[in-house]
Amino acid sequence: MMPEAYNPPAPGWREWLLTERPASRRQARLGRAYASWTRFASNRLALVGLAILVLLLLVAVFAGLIAPDSPVVGGDLRTARLLPPSAAHVFGTDDQGRDIFSRIVFGSRLTLMIVFLVAIIAAPVGLLMGTVAGYAGGWVDATLMRITDIFLSFPKLVLALAFVAALGPGIENAVLAIAITSWPPYARIARAETLAIRNSDFIAAVQLMGASPVRIVLRHVVPLCLSSLIIRVTLDMAGIILTAAGLGFLGLGAQPPSPEWGAMIADGRRFVLDQWWVAAAPGAAIFIVSLAFNLLGDGLRDALDTRG
Amino acid sequence: MTNMKSDTAPLLEVRDLRVSYPTRDGRTEVVRGVNFTLGRERLGIVGESGSGKSQTGRAIIGLTPPTGRITAERLAYKGTDLLTASPRQRRQIRGGGIGMVLQDPRFSLNPLMTIGQQIVEALRSHVRVSGSDARRRALEMLERVRINDPERVFGLYPHEVSGGMGQRAMIAMMLIAGPDLLIADEPTSALDVVVQIEVLAILDQLVAERGMGLIFISHDLRLVSSFCDRVLVMYAGRVVEEIEASRLSEAKHPYTRGLLDCVPRLHNDRHPLPTLQRQAEWAV
Amino acid sequence: MSDLHGKSGTGAPVLIADALGVDFGPFRAVDGVSFEVRPGESLGLVGESGSGKSTILRAIAGLAPISSGAVRFEGKPLGKRREKAFYRHVQMVFQDPYGSLHPRQTVDQILSEPLAIHRIADGERRIRQALDEVGLGSGFRFRYPHQLSGGQRQRVAIARALITEPELLLLDEPTSALDASVQAEILNLLEEIRQHRRLSSILVSHDLAVITHLCERLIVMQSGREVETLTSRQLVAGEVTKPYTRELMAASEGFRRKEPVPA
């Protein structure tokens, strides 16, 4: 029989995560993530923001189960039009006799889609432009940054309007237009961060290993620019939602009858004095989600500080 | 020692000085009960990074950041308790009574004011003098720190002078209001060796001429002992040894001996160098 | 040029600098400095800030331009673009251990990078060996730099430089940011590694005692120029010819009061 090995008391998972001596890559990475999470969680408002966004995600996923009615097909135009909030219709009905609550629930899908698409188009483009320009310097920097300046010098909404006008109205084109107009600030941030670190010794050390510029930018520069970019994108989400809503409001974004929140406000505008709930409900939804993104961004700023 | 019969209180009394900062697991003390009394003498405080030597100096002059908490049984300058003094009293003492020279003049001089303006400013915040008088005294002071053409340096901005020149200007600024005590925190560590010696000579002369008290904080035990009368060796927030500078070779504490021993020397060098074996009980 | 009375160093020089000049715009940082480093030899560059000593290292490493003259490594002249193999044979340790390690990478990632770049197999063994060699052990392998002390960071930087098994190590004030007791440990480590690996090195420092401790020969520099080249033994014996070298020596002895002043 084997001699009984000494078993140290199993340390709690918290100790395991916070140890100064991680035993594997996974433990080191998880430990750092946990440390970030504790910093994030110490900010109550950030947790509120996160909770709202998780709720939004759940609503979007289970929209079919949550919404009592169809978001598109209305009720009887004679009896179900512009009804005030009641037990049957929590947020009332609109001029087509559609349940506003159901429309908002389904609209969350559109909002999330816009946010998600813009983030995955604009952020990487900006990140790449900025880090390449900052690291390469010289004419590459000059060229990329002049392009950025040109995009920056147009008012965002006007530029987006021009794109949508050229491409035709519709939610996909609206997303594309917003993405195209929102990457330049990210490029600026990434470039500034890159300039701050390109002359540091740890970059010189990888240069001295014979690493190619592509490798240095992708593996050593980008990870350091990422956290400030994530924070900025999160804080910008509110603006993106508002721009999308603005395009929807102007009739250039989502087309009827799709339940996009901005377009819903545009519809409700005609009755805003007598049937206020038609515009107020989607307005409140936009407000709450924008606020949640801002709170989350603030929390991330605390959590993702550049130290370690 | 109980009798303090002479009515001239010592320049500085420090009893059970403690400085602590908040961390994730409660407050951590970085200075843990430091005691000393200073007359008109040159006192060295030596230790490695994290020993609490700079925190001690900063606590005395009131440069501890707001998150830090200072407690002491007694912390008095010429009998005035520094912890209970009014902000006005403290301002008076700071600069007028106690001056401080920091490590790097590039960070401790105001980049937007000329050197002359800063010296004049330092003088006029403690002494009522006319503008032309202040200027004359500032120029005099620059001459005292062996700046050859004080008129030119008076009009220069900090970034326009070398490190050695900047540190001399800093010393001029700190001494112009005639303080009785100067705290110098690594005043020459950012300077080249040759310049270092020049600046030390200036500091030494001024302190001696004016009969000031000096607290010289440094990581360099040899330098401090060649400059001071008495040395406090700090480790982990405590004073582990107090010794006459001239009798440093008789130091008893293993930490002091280790610090003296581990530096490479030009003459009779050792291979490998003796290293410091830190003992847990030193920090107790 | 330089005399070669040093005890080590037989065979063809590893590195030859011939009238090396480095310009930054109109400013001449290094002005026609020549020297050579023999296999297994350690050469010291000593001088004050702005003397061009660190710039020489950076020029050899390709981090600063070679404006005039030539530098040859193992017989081949070094141009603006270096082959990948060059970086396997020449490595550098920087002054500030807080700035030379990527803040978001674990020790493991930092040490894996050169192995990945040079496609070196048996990385696992090499990383373990490198950590052992610098006295850290595998307990440090998955830590982030902010979990390490200054001395431990410098050990990681040394391990990173050694992991490709270079022939020439460039040491840029490797101990001047460290406490005295930690400096002693790092100097001992560097000496051990040198003896063990028969590594050639160039050490830059402002501290004469550190230079004579580690190097056989040294060049005294001032304002980008070579003041004199001598062996450490000559320096210690006081056989120096230039007043500037004497001044440096006097200053490194520490402060001396001209006449005793009463306190």
Q: Which residues of C touch B222 (CB under 8 A)?
A: 254
Are B156 and B187 in contact, with CB atoms under 8 Å apart?
A: no
Q: Which residues of A touch C84 (CB under 8 A)?
A: 210
Q: What does the alpha-carbon distance between residue C63 and residue C68 come to, in Å, rounded to a whole number?
A: 15
What values do phi and psi take at B29, rounded to 5?
Answer: -85, 125
Q: How many Å lie between the alpha carbon of A262 and the closest alpha carbon of chain C?
A: 41
Are B238 and B34 in contact, with CB atoms under 8 Å apart?
A: yes
C179, C192, C215: which to substitute to probe chain B, counting the most B Cβ within 10 Å?
A: C179
Whether residues A201 and C96 touch (CB distance < 8 A) is answered with yes
Nearest to A237, CA basis, from A280, A292, A281, A173: A292
Looking at residue B222, what is its pLDDT?
Answer: 82
Residue C159 near chain A (CB below 8 Å): no
What values do phi and psi take at A67, rounded to 5?
Answer: -70, 130
Indicate if the pLDDT at residue C41 is higher than 90: yes
Place of tokens 């009739």: A251
Residue B121 near chain C (CB below 8 Å): no
Residue B215 tokens read as 């607290």
Looking at residue B234, what is its pLDDT?
Answer: 95
Looking at residue A180, what is its pLDDT?
Answer: 86
Amino acid in position A55: L
Q: What does the alpha-carbon distance between residue A34 and residue A18 come to, in Å, rounded to a whole number?
A: 8
C220, C227, C245, C255: which to substitute to probe chain B, counting the most B Cβ within 10 Å?
A: C255
Residue C88 near chain A (CB below 8 Å): yes
Q: Which residues of A touch C117 (CB under 8 A)?
A: 209-211, 215
Q: Secondary structure of chain B: what % helix, strand, coil (to 5)?
A: 40, 25, 35
Whether residues A208 and C62 touch (CB distance < 8 A) is answered with yes
Residue A36 near chain C (CB below 8 Å): no
With pLDDT > 90 as the criterion, what percentage of chain C qualifies? Answer: 73
Q: How many Å lie between the alpha carbon of C32 and the closest alpha carbon of chain B?
A: 23
Residue C183 tokens read as 């400096």
Q: Which residues of A touch C59 (CB under 8 A)?
A: none
Whether residues A208 and C104 touch (CB distance < 8 A) is answered with no
Q: What does the alpha-carbon distance between residue B5 and residue C19 come to, in Å, rounded to a whole number?
A: 72
Farthest CA pair distance, chain C:
68
Residue B187 tokens read as 């005043």
Are C31 and C258 in contact, with CB atoms under 8 Å apart?
A: no
Nearest to C46, CA basis, from C56, C61, C58, C36: C56
Q: What is the ipTM of this complex?
A: 0.87
Whether residues C184 and B269 touch (CB distance < 8 A) is answered with no
Which residue is closest to A208 within chain C, CA to CA? C87
> Which chains share 3+ C-beta pairs under 8 angstroms with B?
C
Q: What does the alpha-carbon distance between residue A204 and residue B11 come to, in Å, rounded to a whole number?
A: 51
Which residue is closest to C189 within chain B, CA to CA? B272
H-helix or E-strand spanning residue B101: strand B98-101
Looking at residue A244, what is its pLDDT?
Answer: 84
Place of tokens 């009238």: C19
Looking at residue C258, what is its pLDDT?
Answer: 67
List all residues 6 or more positions away from B1 whose beta carbon is below 8 Å from its beta carbon.
none
Q: Which residues of A touch C91 (CB under 8 A)?
A: 208
Q: Which residues of B touch C180 (CB under 8 A)?
A: 48, 219-221, 259, 262-263
Residue A108 tokens read as 């969350």
Residue C48 tokens read as 């004050």
C15-252 folds as: Rossmann fold (3.40.50)
Nearest to B55, CA basis, from B10, B14, B94: B14
Where residue B203 falls (left for φ over 0; alpha for ψ -120 to 50; beta otherwise) is alpha
Looking at residue C260, what is its pLDDT?
Answer: 53
Per-residue pLDDT of chain A (308 residues; tens, 9 = 90+): 444 444 555 567 777 887 777 888 888 888 888 888 888 888 899 999 999 999 999 999 998 888 888 888 877 777 778 788 888 888 888 888 888 899 999 999 988 888 899 989 999 999 999 999 999 989 999 999 999 999 888 887 788 888 888 888 888 888 888 888 889 999 999 999 999 999 899 999 999 999 999 999 999 999 999 888 988 998 888 888 888 888 887 878 888 788 888 888 888 888 888 888 888 899 999 999 999 999 998 888 888 865 44
Looking at residue A11, what is its pLDDT?
Answer: 61
Average pLDDT, chain C: 89
Q: Which residues of C touch A230 (CB under 8 A)?
A: none
Full residue range of the structural domain in which residue B262 is found = 9-97+212-284
Q: What is the CA radius of gyration of chain C?
A: 19
Q: Which range (A286-300, B194-208, C108-122) has the least confidence? A: B194-208
Q: What does the alpha-carbon distance between residue B161 and residue B2 come to, in Å, rounded to a whole number?
A: 50
pLDDT digits (tens, 9 = 90+) for B166-195: 888 999 998 888 899 999 999 888 888 888
Whether residues C255 and B204 touch (CB distance < 8 A) is answered with yes
Whether residues C187 and B219 touch (CB distance < 8 A) is answered with no
Looking at residue A305, what is its pLDDT?
Answer: 66
Whether residues B266 and C251 touch (CB distance < 8 A) is answered with no
Q: What is the band of B7 on the pLDDT scale with cuts at 50, 70, 90? A: very low
Are C29 and C176 in contact, with CB atoms under 8 Å apart?
A: no
Whether residues C146 and A308 touch (CB distance < 8 A) is answered with yes
What angle separates helix A100-136 from helix A261-268, to the nearest 10 degrees?
A: 130
- The domain locations on chain C are 15-252
Residue B198 near chain C (CB below 8 Å): no
Residue C261 has a CB neighbour count (10 Å cut-off) of: 12
A24, A30, A208: which to substitute to probe chain C, counting the most C Cβ within 10 Å?
A: A208
pLDDT digits (tens, 9 = 90+) for C168-198: 999 999 998 899 889 999 999 999 999 888 8
Q: Which of C248, C255, C262 sits opposite B223 (nearest CB)?
A: C255
Q: Which of C208, C255, C261 sits opposite B200 (nearest CB)?
A: C255
Are A152 and A184 in contact, with CB atoms under 8 Å apart?
A: yes
Looking at residue B5, what is its pLDDT?
Answer: 37
Q: How much is the average pLDDT of B244-249? A: 88
Q: Which residues of C touch B259 (CB under 8 A)?
A: 180-181
Q: How many Å lie between the alpha carbon of C141 and the closest alpha carbon of chain A?
A: 8
Looking at residue B239, what is its pLDDT?
Answer: 94
Which residue is closest to C81 within chain A, CA to CA? A210
**Count of the separate structural domains present in chain B:** 1
Rounded to 5°, the CA angle B24-B26-B32 comes to: 120
Residue A211 near chain C (CB below 8 Å): yes
Q: How much is the average pLDDT of C7-33? A: 87
Looking at residue A2, what is its pLDDT?
Answer: 45
Nearest to B179, CA basis, from B100, B117, B89: B100
pLDDT digits (tens, 9 = 90+) for C73-95: 998 999 888 888 899 999 999 99
Whether residues C147 and A20 touch (CB distance < 8 A) is answered with yes
Q: Which residues of B touch C247 (CB under 8 A)?
A: 194
Q: Which residues of B touch C256 (CB under 8 A)?
A: 226
Q: Which range (A69-83, B133-147, C133-147, C206-220) has the least confidence? A: A69-83
Residue A230 near chain C (CB below 8 Å): no
Q: How many Å lie between the alpha carbon of C219 and the closest alpha carbon of chain A?
A: 24
Q: What is the band of B94 on the pLDDT scale with cuts at 50, 70, 90? A: confident
Burial class for C12, CB neighbours closer than 10 Å (0-12, 13-18, 19+): exposed
Residue A19 tokens read as 């140890």
Q: What does the alpha-carbon distance between residue A230 and residue A193 come to, in Å, rounded to a whole number?
A: 13
> Which chains share 3+ C-beta pairs under 8 angstroms with C?
A, B
Q: Using omega within 30 degrees of 0 as the cis cutoff, is the peptide bond preceding B272 cis? A: yes
A202, A219, A222: which to substitute to probe chain C, counting the most C Cβ within 10 Å?
A: A202
Place of tokens 């990632």: C109
Q: Which of C179, C207, C208 sits opposite B49 (nearest CB)?
A: C179
C63, C104, C136, C173: which to substitute to probe chain A, counting the most A Cβ within 10 Å?
A: C104
Whether residues C181 and B267 touch (CB distance < 8 A) is answered with no
Looking at residue A131, what is its pLDDT?
Answer: 95
Q: What does the alpha-carbon distance between residue A43 and residue A55 come to, in Å, rounded to a whole number?
A: 19
Which residue is closest to A27 within chain C, CA to CA? C142
Which superfamily does A52-64+89-303 belong to? MetI-like (1.10.3720.10)
Q: How many Å lie between the alpha carbon of C152 and the closest alpha carbon of chain A?
A: 14
Question: How distant, in Å, are the alpha carbons of B75, B238, B262, C15 from that of B235?
Answer: 21, 5, 16, 44
Residue B180 near chain C (CB below 8 Å): no
Q: What CATH number does the domain containing B53 carry?
A: 3.40.50.300
Are C255 and C81 in contact, with CB atoms under 8 Å apart?
A: no
Q: What is the band of C211 on the pLDDT scale with cuts at 50, 70, 90? A: very high
- The domain locations on chain A are 52-64+89-303
**More confident of the two residues C251 and C21:** C21
Burial class for C229, CB neighbours closer than 10 Å (0-12, 13-18, 19+): buried
Are C35 and C229 in contact, with CB atoms under 8 Å apart?
A: yes
Q: Which residues of C touch B272 (CB under 8 A)?
A: 187-188, 191-192
Are C120 and A42 in contact, with CB atoms under 8 Å apart?
A: no
Looking at residue A191, what is its pLDDT?
Answer: 95
Residue C113 near chain A (CB below 8 Å): yes
Q: How much is the average pLDDT of B200-227? A: 89
